[in-house]
């Protein structure tokens, strides 16, 4: 009897938690329609929905969140590449590819940090919006180039096996997230 009650209570709470998490991550129409202009709309909706309550219907907040997601993903990919570089027994060319990649991805992180700073200025009254948003576009676009270059370095035959596969898939994912952020920035810039 007592056991049954505990189980029912547990089930009840699980149900509530499930409903709550669905409610929290339900994409708003604003996010959905904004994401429809990106190249990877499903990924876009997926990653932005978690922040729906912060974004509301604010295009500036949407762009800021998208770049921030891209930055965080790029940062964690950078950490992963750095860990891979420390694996013992790497061949010279594997180490070289990882080294190049970690420099590119560091640049990418720096550019995304700059673009977030620049985006903040766009909101300041009296500042030239068009100039600052075009800088944001430039930084995010070159961050994407760096990520793509790094991914391409792992596309050839220089590297084999698991490291190559896992770095490549991470780079593809992070580049897609950044590509979406760029599309949202461009859209924001041209609609202003
Ligand atoms: C990115 O990471 C920073 C620092 O850890 C955090 O404050 C911020 O909320 C994160 N951004 C997103 C969009 O998750």
Tokens of 9: 């209570």
Q: Which atom of ligand 1 is nearest to the CA of 51?
A: 13
142, 136 contact by CB (below 8 A): no
List the residue whose alpha carbon is closest to atom 2 of ligand 1.
72
Measured from CB, residues less than 6 Å from any atom of ligand 1 are 65, 68-69, 72
Of 8-12, 51-55, 147-151, highest mean pLDDT: 51-55
Higher-scoring residue by pLDDT: 134, 23: 134
Domain borders along the chain are: 27-191
**Is the Cα torsion angle 118, 120, 121, 122 positive or negative in sign?**
positive
Distance of alpha carbon 153 from alpha carbon 104, whole angstroms: 11
Give the pLDDT of residue 13.
85
Q: Taking 80 as the threshold, does the pLDDT of residue 11 lie above it?
A: yes
- Per CATH, the architecture of 27-191 is what? Up-down Bundle (1.20)
List the residue whose alpha carbon is closest to atom 14 of ligand 1.
69
Give the pLDDT of residue 64.
98
pLDDT-derived band of residue 155, with 50, 70 and 90 as boundaries? Answer: low
Q: Is the pTM of this model over 0.75?
A: yes
């Amino acid at each position: 009897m007592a056991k049954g009650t505990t189980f029912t209570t547990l089930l009840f709470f699980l149900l509530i938690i499930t409903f709550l998490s669905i409610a929290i991550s339900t994409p708003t129409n604003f996010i959905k329609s904004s994401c429809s202009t990106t190249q990877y709309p499903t990924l876009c909706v997926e990653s932005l929905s978690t922040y729906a309550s912060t974004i509301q219907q604010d295009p500036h907040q949407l762009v800021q969140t998208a770049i921030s997601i891209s930055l965080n993903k790029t940062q964690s990919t950078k950490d992963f590449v750095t860990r891979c570089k420390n694996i013992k027994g790497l061949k010279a060319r594997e180490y070289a590819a990882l080294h190049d990649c970690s420099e590119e991805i560091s640049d990418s992180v720096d550019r995304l940090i700059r673009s977030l700073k620049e985006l903040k200025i766009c909101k300041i009254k009296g500042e030239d919006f068009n100039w600052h948003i075009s800088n944001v576009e430039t930084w995010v676009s070159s961050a994407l180039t760096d990520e793509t270059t790094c991914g391409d370095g792992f596309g050839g035959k220089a590297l084999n096996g698991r490291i190559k596969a896992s770095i490549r898939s991470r780079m593809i994912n992070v580049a897609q997230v950044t590509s979406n952020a760029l599309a949202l920035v461009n859209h924001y810039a041209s609609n202003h």
